[in-house]
Structure 1
Amino acid sequence: MSPSDDTSPVRLLLCDDHAVVRAGLRALLSSTEGIEVVGEAGSGEEALALAARVRPDVVLMDLQLGGGMDGVAATRHLASGAAYGTGTETAPRVLVLTMFDTDADITRAIEAGATGYLLKAEQPDELFAAIRNAASGRTALSAPVADRVLAQMRSPRPALSERERDILQQLARGLGNRDIARALFISEATVKTHLGRIYGKLGVDTRAGAVAVANERRLLP
């Protein structure tokens, strides 16, 4: 959803689990011409509920939101229009603003429907421009993120499924098959099946090898 005309301010909803960060963003953005902060949320669940009430044009979304729904899941709900009970034609644009720039985080956010992906190290003017671009439906990427996206296109990373990424993350924590199964509420047999696929995609044959390659290729969030 974008502003109805060039003179309408971009209606912006902030979502970050740190109150100090939200206060800083609100102060920065409220003094910016053409941008109106219409609400702020401290969790993914709160962002969905608030978005349904205030109908923002753009949601500025952090990825790491503490307990509960993370920023990727919230982005998926918002971008699909599910938060409004409608279709994508009325959905707000979601602009990710985060400290994390791993390939896994970028891929998950874009796959979830994010219009843009910015790092918190950006200059204010870059943030303002990205918000306006997002409201108009244009992609907005930080320069380092754009470089990573291009690098992925030139040399595609192994296409791991969401479940395979979950298991790989548990591997990195040092968990065995039984503990992974318990953590993800699946059977040990399912864990072993996914491990086989992960090894094949990463070109390894050990757990340590899988974690090493995942870290090297920045596949872990």
Structure 2
Amino acid sequence: MWKSIFDFSFDIYYISLVLNIFLFSGAVFLRKYLFAPILFYLITGLLTEHITILILNNDLLFFGQQTNAPVKVIYDLIQFLTISYFFKRSLNYQWLNKWYVLLMVLLILIAIAPYLLTPSDIAFHNPWISFITIPVLLFLSTLYFLQLLRQKKGYAYINIGLFLILGSSMVRDSTSPFYEGVPMEIYRMKGFLLLIPLIMMQFLFTYECFLFFKSRKEFSIKSQ
């Protein structure tokens, strides 16, 4: 039962992900450059899904093993860079603009330190990067919520979607060791529960793009 539910939910997520890539590409083409980090984040998610499928089908191996741990490391780093840059562009805090590059370099060095010390560890899942990067992104998301309350303008739906997925990712990475050796049905149920915030995020992103295109259309009509 859970396999069918998971497969159906994944199809919804995949279709909405591809749709949002097209929508955000259109927005960036129309010079909404603030959406560019989110577009890159979505493309990274799509590539990660395809690489993971290749790994599951034994068409791609890392270090002779069927593991997506190296892909997860790259995905976590790109997630951190793209989302943090979106918040850097969106938040009106001088200290963030002033210290952004230094903070990013420092946090990335801390995040990848275990792999620099022991390169072979990249073949194994380790929640260390998530524990370093996700709390920072959640903090920036919270700051953006506060800014939205003050200014009454911004991209609330994108922020809600990011907050949902970041929180669920933190829970997923924290609890993953407890799912080793569990029955496949339990694992699929967990996968379905993790897909729910992903699907919600995609729907929220779609709605934010809809609002952007609607505002452009209304502006174009008023300008005529």
TM-score range, shorter chain: under 0.3
From the two aligned structures, give the one with the greater strand fraction.
1
TM-score (norm 1): 0.27
Alignment TM-score, normalising by the size of structure 2 = 0.27
* Greater percentage in helix: 2
